[in-house]
Structure 1
Amino acid sequence: MTTLQTIHDVPVFLCDAEGEPFGSERDALDVIGNAGYQGAQWVVIPAGRLDEAFFRLHTRVAGEIIQKFVNYRMGVAVVGDISRHTEGSSALRDFVRECNRGQQTWFLADMQELRERLGG
């Protein structure tokens, strides 16, 4: 189940917290297609929906998924606590920090943080 919500005039496609994990380019393309069809500019993926391989950068899963969002000019926010992953990986911490400096990929603690970012 997914929903479309407008936050500060920005259409946001919210992926349900329950469901199959996102773990491949195909998963990214599916959600990008659905979100784009509904007119979304951003996709919110609950951190718990990401496959464990996403958080191990050497697998390249994170890069492949994020690159699809970049290619299709769709913003993506991973929302939820990923501290257990970042505590064990300086490379992942750096990746998250760099993403959060940009305007297209964010790792956020909660929906309130997303509202603040989209509000400018």
Structure 2
Amino acid sequence: MPDVVQDRAGVGVLVCDPDGPPVATTQDALDLVGAAFLGAEVVAVPASRLDEEFFSLGTRFAGEVMQKFVNYRLRLVVIGDISRHLAASSALRALVHESNRGDHVWFLPDLEALDARLRATA
């Protein structure tokens, strides 16, 4: 399935294909931003598409990617199990906790959790 814009809980969401190209550079993130301009307010990216550097905060890649989405007023949602990364990094656990308290970047287990979160913020 290609990346596709779906209406989820009344919000346009670019749901990214788990088998799509990896997000390994800031240009890859900008490509998703561009794809979102087809009617999405939220971009849901499977964790499996994010380069390992995203989860290693010392690389600053996660911050660069998240900032691109904030700059373009899009919400970024990382979908999937990131427990392996969380177990390895207290800094990442703190980032995920704080991000999930806000409105711009969320880390959620699945699309159903995204639907519930979107309904709760409507």
The residue that corresponds to 1:17 in the other structure is 18
SS in 2 for 1:87: helix
Shift of 1:43: 0.3
SS in 2 for 1:98: helix
Contact 1:47 1:78 in 2 (8 A): yes
Structure 2 unaligned residues grouped into runs of 5+: none
What code does the residue aligned with 1:108 have? L
For residues 114 and 23 of structure 2, the distance between their equivalents in structure 1, rounded to whole angstroms, comes to 20
Shift of 1:9: 1.1
The residue that corresponds to 2:8 in the other structure is 7
Shift of 1:63: 0.3
Shift of 1:4: 1.0
What code does the residue aligned with 1:55 have? F
What number of residue pairs does the alignment pair up? 119
Identity of aligned residues (%): 51
For each residue in 1:32-73, what CA deviation from the matched residue of structure 2 results, as whole angstroms up to 9, or x when unmatched?
01111x110000000000000100000001000000000000
What code does the residue aligned with 2:88 have? G
Shift of 1:21: 1.3
The residue that corresponds to 1:88 in the other structure is 88
For each residue in 1:69-105, what CA deviation from the matched residue of structure 2 results, as whole angstroms up to 9, or x when unmatched?
0000001100000000000100000011111000110
Shift of 1:25: 1.1
Structure 1 unaligned residues grouped into runs of 5+: none
TM-score by length of 2: 0.95
SS in 2 for 1:11: strand
CA RMSD of aligned residues (A): 0.7
For residues 7 and 34 of structure 1, the distance between their equivalents in structure 2, rounded to whole angstroms, comes to 17
For residues 8 and 17 of structure 1, the distance between their equivalents in structure 2, rounded to whole angstroms, comes to 21
Shift of 1:19: 2.5
The residue that corresponds to 2:34 in the other structure is 33
Please list every run of at least 4 consecutive aligned residues from structure 1 whose deviation after the TM superposition is greater than 3 angstroms.
none
Contact 2:3 2:20 in 1 (8 A): no
Give 1:46-57 correspondences, 5 Å limit: 46-57=46-57
Contact 1:24 1:64 in 2 (8 A): no
TM-score by length of 1: 0.97
